[in-house]
């Protein structure tokens, strides 16, 4: 009977392996990768039968770490609009200076082919889908309670996600400052949706 895989060891190996692949390229052979990691090739294959499995494990760990960083900062805010802003700001704070890793993992996903890419997309959805559904419910409740103006909640959340992802890529490519975008998103997108207590709808 095969011994169970040590998940902590697997995550640590995934981090190290991705660092090597990022530095030397995805075409690095398994034998060479094992050598860089000071492992025997069969040991590396025991934990990761394919390079896709390395990328999957590394991305899953990164997304879980991101969730652990971002969600408490969102939960510290009372209003769901403030929670959305906290999400935008804290995701960018979590990845600051490490955007190259995100870009590399994205490129690696694209190189895996459709089957591998779909598995990795599914990992991302599993990590964040429950939180997205909770956030959607909070926004809908705020609208129903009159704390927000009516809006397309799905479109608002899609816009937020696009801004989060798009600004990470821009910061990697150009080194741009994301703070003005955060202010603009707050002042021009989120704040106009907020209703003061007992505010009346305009006719």
pLDDT at 157: 97
CA separation, residue 201 to residues 17, 64, 146, 195 (Å): 56, 41, 9, 9
Contacts 24+ apart (CB under 8 A), 117-121: 119/52, 119/56, 120/52, 120/55, 120/56, 120/59
Q: What are phi and psi of 148, to 5 degrees?
A: -140, 150
Domains for the chain: give ranges and CATH numbers.
1-49 (1.10.10), 52-193 (1.10.357.10)
Q: What are phi and psi of 194, to 5 degrees?
A: -80, 135
DSSP string, 26-39: TT--HHHHHHHTT-
pLDDT at 198: 60
**What tokens does 42 get?**
């069969």
Tell me if 61 sits within 8 A of 14, measured CB to CB: yes
Ordered mean pLDDT values, 10 residues apiece, the chain (203 residues)? 74 94 94 96 94 87 90 97 98 93 85 62 71 95 97 98 93 94 98 80 47
């Amino acid at each position: 009977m095969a011994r169970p895989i040590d998940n902590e060891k697997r995550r640590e190996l995934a981090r190290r392996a991705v660092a090597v692949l990022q530095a030397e390229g995805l075409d690095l052979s398994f034998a060479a990768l094992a050598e860089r990691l000071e492992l025997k090739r069969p040991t590396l294959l025991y934990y990761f039968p394919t390079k896709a499995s390395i990328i999957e494990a590394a991305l899953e760990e990164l997304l879980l770490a991101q969730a652990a960083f971002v969600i408490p900062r969102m939960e510290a805010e009372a209003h769901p609009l403030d929670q959305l802003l906290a999400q935008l700001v804290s995701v960018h704070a979590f990845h600051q200076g490490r955007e190259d890793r995100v870009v590399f993992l994205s490129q690696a996903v694209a190189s895996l082919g459709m089957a591998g890419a779909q598995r990795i997309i599914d990992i991302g959805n599993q990590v964040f889908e429950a939180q997205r559904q909770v956030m959607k419910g909070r926004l809908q409740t705020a609208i129903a309670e009159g704390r927000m103006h009516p809006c397309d909640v799905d479109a608002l959340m899609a816009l937020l996600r696009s801004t989060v992802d798009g600004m990470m890529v821009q910061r990697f490519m150009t080194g741009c400052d994301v703070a003005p975008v955060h202010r603009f998103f707050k002042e021009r997108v989120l704040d106009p949706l907020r209703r003061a207590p007992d505010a009346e709808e305009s006719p």
